[in-house]
Amino acid sequence: MELTPQELSDVQTSITSRRFFPLWIIQCGFMMGPIFFAIVVYAVYRDQAVNPPHPETGILDLMSILTWVTVGLTGVSSFFVFLTYRFPGCMRWVSARKNIMKTAQPTRNTDTAPEALLFQNLIVRIILRLAILEAPAMFGLAVFLVGVQTGGLYNQPDFWLNALPTAVFFFYTLATLPTKDSVLTQQQQIHETWT
């Protein structure tokens, strides 16, 4: 169900810099953890590149298994995030539909108005999607760090696949930095799942 012209106008006017800025802060904040961890991994890698350790066979086998677990986690988490965009109703459990219906009265508080609750729901959805993609990114960086410290990274080229989830996370985060149009589109989708 489409938003009525009045609801659409309310939603458009509610997207102000006061509400829009936190979305940028959230996305940038989520990126800082993997960025700092990647800097640490790079520093360790650079220090050990001169004289890399020689890994044992058992370590290489374990690292290979962890690498493919990382790739699998990346695939599963990316698929789940794709599903949340393709089928927005699958995140219906996140919504506060009952609260919106109760507060759609002539006298509205600005924090409980339907457009404010739509925006709060959007923030929750953004955080959940970022958290779902950040988990394999951090796991991949941890495996990457272990590979650097044990010397496995220098002997097995497939260990570089552990950087894949971090690349996916950064690409997704940068590609979905909020704009006024994207926020409006997502709020429209959320509204449609509630009606």
Asked whether residue 38 is assigned to any structural domain, the reply reads yes
Tally of domains within the chain: 1
> Which two three-digit tokens encode residue 49?
């590149």
User: Quick one: pLDDT at residue 124?
Assistant: 82
Rounded Cα distance, 55 and 133, in Å: 30
**Longest CA–CA separation in the chain, Å:** 72
Asked whether residue 52 is assigned to any structural domain, the reply reads no
| Enclosing domain of residue 124 | 17-42+60-194
Asked whether residue 50 is assigned to any structural domain, the reply reads no
Q: What is the pLDDT of residues 21-40, one digit of tens each?
A: 788 888 889 999 999 999 99
Q: Which residue has the higher pLDDT, 99 or 19?
A: 19
Q: What is the pLDDT of residues 82-113, one digit of tens each?
A: 988 887 766 655 554 444 444 444 444 455 56
**CA-based end-to-end distance of the chain:** 6
Q: Which residue has the higher pLDDT, 137 or 126?
A: 137
> CB-based burial of residue 184 (10 Å sphere; 0-12 exposed, 13-18 middle, 19+ buried)?
middle
Q: What's the mean per-residue pLDDT of the chain?
A: 78
Asked whether residue 1 is assigned to any structural domain, the reply reads no
User: Quick one: pLDDT at residue 1?
Assistant: 43
Asked whether residue 51 is assigned to any structural domain, the reply reads no
Secondary element (H or E) of residue 180: helix 180-194
